[in-house]
């Protein structure tokens, strides 16, 4: 075959000197100057500087090759839910890992604004919270999906309708790897929301309503709803100089001896060993000290939780 014509805009030397191609009637040569002029280079440099400034100052990520592109307004709305997602993932992983020592599946349910804003980054934030709990290596929004897949952590996502009371919610459930996809036995679920646009709060644990701030160092325990449990826990903490910031309670039903849960926020540097005397209380069936992202001693959390994800 024969070449009918050509259009060229890049040459080994620019501008081209004495090229015979320029004299051919079926060749169109256009100058390649758009990205090479001083003005263009200055504009590109300014744009890069602005994007770096926005990320460092506000966390706004624009034109990233491995993350969804968000406007400043989209990121402003999504940011508190990213924080909520990471903390729910961390809480669920720490409690579930303390039960079985190995995590197999995470289920994420979005309702209201979290579902409307887009779930890609929220899923990554949940997985970062889970993985940073049980791994020494640092996991972030960029690599959390890949690390989860490499570790054999299955991820299931759902959306549901807005509900009255708290229409914008995120739920994270962890299941040990030895249970099948349709079985939640041995798992742990937490649901939360964002209040006043910035404050992550927990709404329920394993379906039991309990509302509390989702931050800092938390003592989680499950117990039979009988008199004296709160007093015993408070006495143990007080005798060791540990102050209680908030104490949130919930129970499955208003019947003596029914299942109940508590989430206690603690001040200061709390040793992991505090769970031992609390675990010895007869009415308490489960306890775990949780360090959420941002809490003192929270990095790496894996030092206080004995767990692995998937098969080694």
| pLDDT confidence of residue 297 | 47
| pLDDT confidence of residue 307 | 39
| pLDDT confidence of residue 74 | 80
Query: How many residues comprise the chain?
Result: 312
| pLDDT confidence of residue 205 | 96
Query: In the chain, where are the structural domains located?
Result: 6-58, 70-212+307-312, 217-291
The pTM assigned to this predicted structure is 0.77
State the pairing for strand pair 102-111/154-160.
parallel
**CA trace torsion 53, 54, 55, 61 (10° rounding):** -140
94: left (phi over 0), alpha (psi -120 to 50) or beta: alpha
What CATH number labels 70-212+307-312? 3.30.1330.90
How many helices and strands in the chain, by DSSP H and E? 7, 13
The CATH class for the domain spanning 217-291 reads alpha beta
| pLDDT confidence of residue 103 | 75
Nearest to 220 by CA among 112, 208, 138: 208
Phi, psi of 257 (to 5 degrees): 90, 0
Q: Which uninterrupted H or E stretch holds 84?
A: helix 72-100
Query: What one-character-per-residue DSSP string does 248-290 give?
Result: EEEESSSSTT-EEEEEEEE-S---GGGHHHHHTSTTEEEEEEE
User: 10-residue block means of pLDDT along the chain (312 residues)?
Assistant: 85 75 86 70 87 76 73 83 96 85 86 91 95 89 92 92 84 75 67 89 95 95 96 96 96 88 94 95 96 64 35 41
| pLDDT confidence of residue 295 | 61
Q: Which uninterrupted H or E stretch holds 92?
A: helix 72-100
Q: What is the pLDDT of residues 172-225, one digit of tens each?
A: 999 876 544 444 556 899 999 998 878 899 999 999 999 999 999 999 999 999
Q: What is the pLDDT of residues 45-77, one digit of tens each?
A: 898 898 888 777 766 667 777 777 777 788 888
């Amino acid at each position: 075959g024969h070449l009918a014509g050509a259009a060229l805009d890049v040459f080994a030397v620019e501008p081209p000197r004495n090229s015979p191609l320029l004299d051919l009637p079926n060749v169109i040569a256009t100058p390649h100057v758009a990205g090479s002029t001083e003005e263009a280079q200055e504009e590109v440099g300014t744009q890069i500087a602005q994007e770096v400034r926005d990320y460092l100052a506000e966390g706004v990520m624009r034109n990233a090759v491995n993350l969804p592109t968000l406007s400043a307004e989209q990121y402003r709305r999504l940011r508190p839910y990213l924080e909520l997602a990471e903390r729910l993932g961390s809480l669920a992983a720490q409690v579930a890992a303390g039960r079985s020592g190995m995590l197999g599946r995470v289920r994420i349910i979005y309702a209201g604004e979290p579902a409307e804003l887009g779930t890609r980054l929220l899923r990554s934030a949940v997985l970062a919270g889970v993985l940073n709990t049980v791994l020494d290596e640092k996991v972030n929004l960029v690599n959390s999906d890949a690390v989860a897949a490499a570790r054999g952590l299955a991820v299931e996502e759902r959306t549901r309708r807005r509900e009255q009371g708290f229409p914008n919610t995120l739920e994270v459930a962890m299941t040990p790897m030895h249970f099948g996809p349709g079985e939640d036995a041995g798992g742990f679920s937490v649901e939360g929301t964002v209040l006043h646009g910035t404050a992550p709060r927990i709404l329920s644990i394993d379906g039991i309503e309990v509302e509390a701030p989702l931050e800092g160092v938390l003592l989680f325990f499950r117990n039979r709803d009988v008199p004296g449990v709160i007093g015993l826990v408070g006495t143990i903490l007080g005798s060791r100089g540990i102050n209680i910031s908030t104490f949130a309670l919930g129970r499955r039903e208003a019947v003596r001896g029914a299942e109940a849960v508590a989430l206690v926020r603690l001040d200061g540097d709390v040793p992991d060993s505090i769970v031992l005397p609390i675990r010895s209380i007869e009415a308490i069936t489960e306890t775990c000290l949780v360090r959420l992202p941002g809490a003192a001693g929270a990095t790496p959390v894996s030092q206080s939780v004995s767990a692995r994800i998937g098969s080694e």
